Each structure stands twice: as C-alpha cells, then as structure tokens.
Amino acid sequence: MGANEREVPRLRQKKFQEMDLLFHPDSIAVVGVSEERLSTGASYLLGLLRAGFKGKVFAVGRNSGNMAGLPIYRSVREVPGEVDYVSVFIPREEVLALLEECRGKGVKGMQLFTAGFSELDEEGRKLEQELVNKARHLGIRLIGPNCTGLSCTKQRIALGPLGFFGEEGNVAFLSQSGGFGAVIYDYGSFLRLRFSKVISFGNAADLDAVDFLEYLLLDPDTQIIGAYFEGAKRNREFLAVLKEVAKKKPLVIWKGGKTKEGRETAFSHTASLSSAPWIWSSLIKQVGAVEVESMEEMAATLLAFQNLPPLRGRKAVVIAGLVGAGGGMSVASSDALALAGLELPHLSPSLRARLQGIFPRLVGTILRNPIDLGASPVRLGETLELLSTEGDFDLILFWLPIWQLLELGECWAEEWKKAVDILIEFNKQGKVPLAGIMPPGTMNEVGTKLLYEFQQAGIAVFPSLDSGSKALSHLISYYEGREQGK
C-alpha cells in the first residue's frame, strides 16, 4: 500500500468526523423567529422541541421576546456560549451579515432554508458564491441554500419547518427536494420504514451529494440508502462514490427531471443542470445501484431492503384469497410479478396432492401458484408448512386485504386473528422469507393497527402490487449484481 492509498482513508475519516458533528450538534440556533407570528423559523424550532432534540435550542430573531418558553436573542452573538449549528430562515439579503455574526461562536455548520440564490437569478448566483467564500473563510460548512437541511433520528433532529420526524433505523434518505424528505418520513412511517438520517441539500453550494454519499458510506448507523437527485456536480467524483457506496450498501436512486419539461423545472428548483435520461439510467445501472421512478416505488424498495434478506433466487409462491375471492388478485399478481422478472413455478404434483388433502372440496379454492384459498384462512398454517417443506420457493407472498377484514363481523375477525398469528409465527421460524401485498382501499385506524402488527414482526407489507413487485425485483437484482461484481 502506497502513501497515497493510506492517505485517502485517513482524510476520509477526518471528513467523516467533521460531517458527523453536523448530524450530532450539542446546540442549534434557529434564526428567523419572532413572537408575533408562527414564522417558518419558529415552526422549525417547535418541530425540534416536539422531536425531543437531545441538545440545546436557541431562538434568534430581529425583535426580542419569547417563543415556546425560550427567549429570542437579537443576534447569534448574544446567545450564551458556543453554537454548533445554525438553521436560517431569513431573507437572502441578510445572510452574509448573519455569517459575520457567527464569527468566534464555534459554529460548525449552517443550513439555509432561505431560497432565491443560484436557482433564481444572476444576483442570487453571485450572492451564493460570496456566501460560500465567506463560510469557507470562517470554517463553517453550508447546507443548502434552498433546502430543509439535516435530520438525524439518533440525535432527535426533525426535518424542515413542519418538523417531520420518524422512527430510528438504518435507512438514510438523501434528497435534493425537501418536500420528498417530508414524504419519506410521512409515507415511510405508514409503511414502517425506520431512518438514520434524512438529508435535504438543495442547491448544494458547499456540501453536495458527493460529500453526503461519502459520509453515508462510512456511517455505521446507515445500511440502506435512498436518494432523490435532480442533477449532479463533480461528475467524476459523483460516479466514483456512487460505485463505492452501491458495492457496500443497497443504493436506491430516483432521478427527477427526466423529460425536457422536468429538466427545466429542475433547473429553476435547485439550479441543477441535468443530463439526458438515458445517461442517468445507464449510469445508475453501471454503478450497481437500483433505479426507481416514483416515491411509491422508492418507499416500497427501501422497505424490501429493510425487511427482507438477500433472496436465494426468483422463485415466488403467492397466497391469495385469505379473505373473500382471490381469483382476480391471483391473475393480477401473476402478471405483475412475471413482468417484474420473478418466477411463479408450478406446484409439483406431490405438493398439489398434499394440499388437496388439507382442502377437502372447499368451494372457491384454487390449488395452483398463486394459491387462491377462497376465504379459508383456517388452513393457512398447514399450507405454509407444506410450501416451506415440500416446495422449493425463495419467497412466499400473501395478499393482505386489510379493507376486507374491516368489513368482517366478529366471527370472521376471530378467525382472521388466528391467521395473523400464524403468519407472524411462520415468519419467526425463518424457513422461507415472507412478505405481504395490500390491494388498494380505504385505510383507517383498525387497518393501520393490523398493519402495525405485521410491521412490528418485521414483515414487509407492500402498499400496492405494482410497487411491491418492482421492489422485490430490485432487491433480487441488487444482490445478484453485487454477487457478480465480487
């Protein structure tokens, strides 16, 4: 190993520690708070308190006063002691002066919610450059501008002015859009995705995607990474770090701005100069990452990586009709899974005979793959047992018609409770990986509670057939690629 090769990890480790401080500050000053109205700054501050931020919070505003029991300081300089991190919610004209205020206060990072820089006009572009120069001079790292910043579940830091927050886990989401950071927290909570960090980096004037990816590569709290990009800077480094990350941790990418219309919008959103879509698609494939095309597919794919082990192969068996008729869903899942590249092998004659033995002339039952139980959850335990011992499947999928369950009377609900227990118990045994699929429908508290039982047991339940099929295919392809790349 040459000197250079030893040097790289050492530099990286140093940079990791520098960035790790930004995610774990002991104190945050929120700039742009006033007593009179619930500004975006005040809203962010309340979100921090609600999430239970582990450090100290300071409010800073033009006029003194109080917000949520905290005094409002008229400048960062007035804040007692050091300030690790500053979140900024003031007009762009005032930001340079704010940076000057931070001199000598020990500030390590500054996040700018403030927009109107390079994404807006020439004046904004110049101002953004001045900002970067001054911050570098002061030793302050910038996040944004035009972003909702950093969120860290371990340190209990919420995201953006609406204070989005979620459960702690090993999934990181890196986003050029603050809105999608909020979506992943909210939709993710519904699906029970659990997060280490959610990062919105906006215009990336200083810290950019490469920096954050290098950080997440080394972050021991992060094992799975989702990313929404609108464009890239530092193409060579970007490509290199994508490759390095994807080799070590599942990396799921959604590229916004794939059409001409989308590219124009992306430029006005985060000043991203975006390349042709085919370049991105082949690039994502080339580095061994996974490409998705919507937030629904993103969330479902992260869910698959979070809950399922690498599958041995593509052979799936589907159980439908636990409640009500499962025929249509059997046909639809055959189509969707086959299109996504999964295999639905026929049941062997001996397995079929064994199954026939436990389903004596039950009306509506179809003993093929998919298996349509025809509303006979009572035989579920024996069916799962037979599939795992007599069959040769890499995955068992079951339809979870939550909305139908909610229509059931007392009597059936009792029967279903047993079925839920059987599925959870089977998953615990770890014989064959198990996942659920929900048909579309009304979701209410009872349904959410039932869903939570599965999630609590570590069973991924996909919110739609389409997103679930794609997620499973991505999971398999990713590990196949990693295997071949070795």
Q: With binding defined as CB under 8 A, does residue 383 bind its own copies?
A: no
Q: With binding defined as CB under 8 A, does residue 372 bind its own copies?
A: yes
What lies within 8 Å, CB to CB, of 439 at 6+ separation is: 329, 399, 401, 403, 465
Q: Which stretch binds its own copies (CB under 8 A): 68-76, 279-287, 384-392, 440-448?
A: 440-448
Residue closer to its own copies (CB basis): 288 or 468: 468
Pick the binder of its own copies from 364, 381, 458, 481 (CB under 8 A): 364
What lies within 8 Å, CB to CB, of 432 at 6+ separation is: 387, 388, 393, 394, 395, 396
Q: With binding defined as CB under 8 A, does residue 121 bind its own copies?
A: no
Residue closer to its own copies (CB basis): 163 or 436: 163
Buried b or exposed e, range 386-412, using 16+ CB within 10 angstroms: bbbeebebbbbbbbbbbbbbbeeeeee
CA-nearest of 301, 55, 25 to 171 is: 301
Pick the binder of its own copies from 21, 132, 239, 325 (CB under 8 A): 325
Q: With binding defined as CB under 8 A, does residue 8 bind its own copies?
A: no
User: Quick check: 20 and 197 in contact, CB under 8 A?
Assistant: no
Q: With binding defined as CB under 8 A, does residue 186 bind its own copies?
A: yes
- Residue 142 tokens read as 């910038």
Q: Which stretch binds its own copies (CB under 8 A): 62-70, 204-212, 407-415, 428-436?
A: 407-415
Q: What pairs with residue 228 in β-bridges?
A: 175, 254
Give min distance, CB of 259 to its own copies, in A.
4
Residues from 49 through 88 that contact its own copies (CB under 8 A): none
Q: With binding defined as CB under 8 A, does residue 281 bind its own copies?
A: no
Q: How far is CA 175 from the centre of its chain?
A: 10
User: Quick check: 292 and 335 in contact, CB under 8 A?
Assistant: no
Q: With binding defined as CB under 8 A, does residue 163 bind its own copies?
A: yes
CA dihedral 294, 300, 301, 303 (to 10 degrees): 150
Instruction: Kindly determine how many residues on this chain lie close enough to bind its own copies according to the rule CB under 8 A.
Output: 97
- Residue 92 tokens read as 């762009």
φ, ψ of residue 455 to 5 degrees: the values are -65, -40
How many whole angstroms separate alpha carbon 362 and alpha carbon 356? 10
Pick the binder of its own copies from 5, 36, 445, 483 (CB under 8 A): 445
Give min distance, CB of 428 to its own copies, in A.
27
Helix, strand, coil fractions of the chain, as percent rounded to 5: 50, 15, 35
Q: With binding defined as CB under 8 A, does residue 444 bind its own copies?
A: yes
DSSP string of 367-421? Answer: ESSSEE--S-GGGHHHHHHHHHHH---SEEEEE--HHHHHH--HHHHHHHHHHHH
User: Quick check: 48 and 102 in contact, CB under 8 A?
Assistant: no
Pick the binder of its own copies from 27, 87, 177, 306 (CB under 8 A): 177
Map tokens 């349904």 to a residue: 447
Q: With binding defined as CB under 8 A, does residue 211 bind its own copies?
A: no
Residue closer to its own copies (CB basis): 25 or 166: 166
Residue closer to its own copies (CB basis): 161 or 169: 161
Residue type, 209: A
Pick the binder of its own copies from 60, 210, 299, 317 (CB under 8 A): 299
Site string for its own copies, 188-207 (x = CB under 8 A): -xx-----------------
Q: With binding defined as CB under 8 A, does residue 304 bind its own copies?
A: no
Pick the binder of its own copies from 70, 94, 132, 187 (CB under 8 A): 187
Q: What 3-state DSSP class applies to 169? A: strand
Q: Which stretch binds its own copies (CB under 8 A): 111-119, 218-226, 349-357, 478-486?
A: 111-119
Q: How far is CA 256 from the centre of its chain?
A: 16
Pick the binder of its own copies from 337, 351, 435, 460 (CB under 8 A): 337
Pick the binder of its own copies from 25, 109, 226, 257 (CB under 8 A): 257
Q: How far is CA 174 from the centre of its chain?
A: 8
Residue closer to its own copies (CB basis): 11 or 353: 353
Q: Are strands 395-399 and 366-367 parallel, antiparallel or unpaired?
A: unpaired
Q: With binding defined as CB under 8 A, does residue 329 bind its own copies?
A: yes
How many whole angstroms separate alpha carbon 353 and alpha carbon 364? 17
Give min distance, CB of 116 to its own copies, in A.
6
Pick the binder of its own copies from 55, 71, 179, 381 (CB under 8 A): 179
Pick the binder of its own copies from 58, 73, 164, 238 (CB under 8 A): 164
Give min distance, CB of 80 to its own copies, in A.
28
Give min distance, CB of 15 to its own copies, in A.
27
Residue closer to its own copies (CB basis): 288 or 321: 321
Give min distance, CB of 292 to its own copies, in A.
12
Q: With binding defined as CB under 8 A, does residue 436 bind its own copies?
A: no
Neighbouring CB atoms inside 10 A of 358's CB total 16
Q: With binding defined as CB under 8 A, does residue 359 bind its own copies?
A: no
